[in-house]
């Protein structure tokens, strides 16, 4: 078997990284900086050398089928009318960083201080901020909060469509402050979005960390290699088993296996390898290596729903996405990497508090200047605009579990969206907040009829009933192998799996609590930080940059 550069694989590696996404590519690249260590990264999916991956505006297409995507579905969601929720997870080099919306959001600084307050040594904001800075090159330059010498290129969106400008102006009119940098001192308010796009190309972790280091002799990357289990001798991880072209393979590991398969597939692979609740594993005849009942439990995701409006003027970008417009868009992007093809459409956004009893924003607004359906795996475009709200700190929890001992069978999972009264109340409040913003004078020239939930939906009961048919995932599953010291935690503060040797998990699954924003940037930060720990390097010095807190 050969890697993506045509080099034969070794039989043994110092480190084997499973998954090439927001964490895996970072970890593999950083570990291979030590020339004396051999590193293999295994990716179940194909190469990311596709226009549908590289062109930012093509972001909807990888969501439509399983070419670059695990294309999995939840079990029926009780509070959402027993609908099965489609969940896109990257199955391609770069993982979900190759198919996501490219919004560069760190979360709120309070999130990380909260992790620290939960007893996780090393995870306060002052200790995480240096790794956010290390990971990025920000187009506005470095300061106490931002980096200018990292692999991830971050650009500020142009936001020059009239509907983007109306979004910002209406938010200010509604009482929200304008934030020049929502990844700096203060997150709360309306903002122009930042995105991981560089010179017109999606800047995924595979672009940033792998393709730029493809000549590194001690780094091997194998695609179309689906891991089926980890083999142990006693409590020590010694081999990784996987399928390549349908043929079983096994490679030995000297130092560590680092699981970076994501918040749904990492717990699934752990269970297939005998790590999880012993009684559950026994149901499928899987010998228990480590009885860890927290594997797969406590899943969090940002439940999301659209509020859509028609536009009274034909200014939405839908008019540029006719068949002829798409041809022009493709030609401009192919030739110059410019034009509408270089946008991810989500060029403005906001973080707000829906009531004064909380100190950190509990709702995120994302926005696109057209009527489009991206959330459920299809793309339809009309003239109009839409807000997406997401609940930042949901109290509903889901789980991941085995449906079969067959490693090729999809994992079972359920989000349990809107299963708590708090989440229901926050979702209703989010819809009302959007309607309040859209009622502001800045929207007067453009505001047409509300499409969803619709003008007939007014009472709390009606809004909640509408959300049962509209709400879904924002593609941010997390917390299924969380860090901690209690009986339901899975890894310690350095991502080592409790009770085992040579095995770590590094991805959104180890978050002890979901953060307030999109997960790509936080996972990259976590991978940078844990890579230093694996290498035995001293952590970057703490910062003392302040951040905004409600008095």
CATH number at residue 367: 3.30.410.40
Q: Which residues, 6+ apart, have CB-to-CB distance to 117 below 8 Å?
A: none
* Structural domain range at position 432: 158-192+303-391+418-470
Q: Which two tokens stand for residue 138?
A: 């920000």
> Would you say residue 283 lies in a domain?
no
Q: What's residue 376's pLDDT?
A: 46
CA distances from 512 to 265, 275, 469, 508 (A): 17, 19, 30, 9
How many residues would you count in the chain? 551
Catalytic residue among 153, 302, 476, 498: 476
Q: Characterize 380-408 residue by residue with b for buried, 16 or more Cβ atoms within 10 angstroms of its Cβ, and e for exposed.
A: ebbbbbbbbbbbbbbebbbbbbbeeeebe
Per-10-residue mean pLDDT, the chain, length 551: 95 98 98 98 98 95 93 98 97 98 98 97 98 98 98 98 98 98 98 98 98 95 98 98 95 98 98 98 98 98 97 89 85 93 96 95 97 57 93 98 98 98 98 98 98 97 98 98 97 98 98 98 98 98 96 82
Q: What's residue 377's pLDDT?
A: 43
Whole-angstrom distance, CA of residue 487 vs CA of residue 153: 39
> Would you say residue 352 lies in a domain?
yes
Domain count, the chain: 1
101 contacts 518 by C-beta, under 8 angstroms: yes
In 3D, which of 67, 63, 68 has the Cα closest to residue 86? 63
Active site residue 182: no
87 contacts 72 by C-beta, under 8 angstroms: yes
Q: What's residue 379's pLDDT?
A: 54
First to last CA, the chain: 59
> Would you say residue 372 lies in a domain?
yes
> Would you say residue 43 lies in a domain?
no
> Would you say residue 369 lies in a domain?
yes
> Would you say residue 349 lies in a domain?
yes
**Locate tokens 């699954």: which residue?**
509
Kindly state the percentage of the chain with pLDDT values over 90: 93
Q: Which two tokens stand for residue 96?
A: 């979900």
Tell how strand 189-192 and strand 178-179 pair up.
parallel
> Would you say residue 110 lies in a domain?
no
Question: Is the Cα dihedral 122, 180, 141, 336 positive or negative?
Answer: positive
Q: What's residue 375's pLDDT?
A: 46
Query: What number of CA atoms fall less than 13 Å from residue 228's CA on the CB side?
Result: 17
306 contacts 386 by C-beta, under 8 angstroms: yes
> Would you say residue 345 lies in a domain?
yes
125 contacts 132 by C-beta, under 8 angstroms: no
Whole-angstrom distance, CA of residue 92 vs CA of residue 206: 10
| Residue 505 DSSP SS3 | strand
């Amino acid at each position: 078997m050969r890697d993506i550069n045509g080099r034969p694989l070794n039989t043994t590696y110092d480190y084997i990284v499973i998954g090439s996404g927001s964490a895996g590519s970072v970890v593999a690249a950083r570990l291979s900086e030590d020339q004396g260590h051999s590193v293999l990264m295994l990716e179940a999916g194909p190469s990311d050398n596709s226009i549908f991956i590289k062109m930012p505006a093509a972001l909807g297409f990888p969501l439509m089928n399983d070419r670059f995507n695990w294309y999995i579905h939840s079990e029926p969601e009780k509070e959402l009318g027993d609908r099965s929720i489609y969940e896109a997870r990257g199955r391609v080099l770069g993982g979900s960083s190759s198919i996501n919306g490219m919004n560069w959001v760190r979360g709120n600084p309070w999130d990380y201080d909260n992790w620290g307050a939960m007893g996780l040594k090393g995870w306060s904001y002052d200790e995480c901020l240096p790794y956010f800075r290390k990971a990025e090159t920000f187009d506005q330059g470095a300061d106490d909060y931002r980096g200018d010498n990292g692999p991830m290129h971050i650009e500020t969106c142009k936001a020059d469509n009239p509907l983007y400008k109306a979004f910002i102006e209406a938010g200010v009119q509604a009482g929200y402050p304008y934030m020049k940098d929502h990844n700096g001192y203060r997150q709360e308010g309306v903002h122009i979005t930042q995105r991981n796009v560089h010179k017109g190309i999606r800047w995924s972790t595979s672009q940033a960390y792998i393709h730029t280091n493809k000549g590194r002799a001690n780094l091997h990357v194998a695609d179309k290699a689906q891991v089926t289990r980890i083999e142990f001798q006693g409590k020590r991880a010694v081999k990784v088993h996987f399928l390549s072209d349908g043929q079983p393979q096994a490679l030995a590991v000297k130092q560590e296996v680092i699981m970076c398969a994501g918040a749904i597939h990492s717990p699934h692979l752990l269970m297939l390898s005998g790590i999880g609740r012993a009684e559950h594993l026994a149901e499928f005849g899987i010998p228990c290596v480590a009885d860890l009942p927290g594997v797969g439990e406590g899943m969090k995701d940002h439940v999301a729903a659209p509020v859509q409006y028609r536009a009274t003027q034909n200014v939405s970008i839908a008019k540029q996405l006719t068949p002829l417009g798409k041809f022009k868009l493709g030609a401009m992007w192919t030739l110059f990497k410019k034009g509408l093809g270089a946008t991810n459409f989500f060029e403005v956004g906001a973080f707000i508090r829906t009531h004064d009893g909380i100190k950190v924003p509990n709702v995120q607004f994302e926005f696109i200047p057209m009527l489009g359906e991206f959330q459920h795996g299809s793309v339809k475009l009309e003239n109009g605009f839409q807000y997406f709200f997401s609940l930042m700190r949901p109290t509903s929890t889901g789980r991941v579990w085995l449906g079969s001992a067959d490693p090729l069978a999809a994992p079972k999972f359920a989000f349990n969206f809107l299963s708590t009264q708090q989440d229901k109340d926050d979702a209703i409040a989010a819809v009302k907040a959007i309607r309040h913003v859209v009622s502001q004078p800045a929207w007067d020239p453009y505001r047409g009829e509300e499409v969803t939930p619709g003008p007939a939906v007014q009472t709390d009961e009606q809004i909640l009933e509408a959300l049962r048919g509209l709400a879904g995932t924002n593609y941010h599953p997390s917390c299924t192998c969380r860090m901690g010291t209690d009986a339901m935690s899975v890894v310690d503060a350095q991502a080592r799996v409790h009770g085992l040797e040579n095995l770590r998990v590094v991805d959104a699954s180890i978050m002890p609590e979901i953060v307030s924003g999109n997960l790509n940037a936080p996972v990259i930060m976590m991978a940078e930080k844990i890579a230093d720990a694996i290498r035995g390097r001293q952590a970057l010095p703490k910062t003392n940059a302040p951040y905004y807190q409600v008095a």
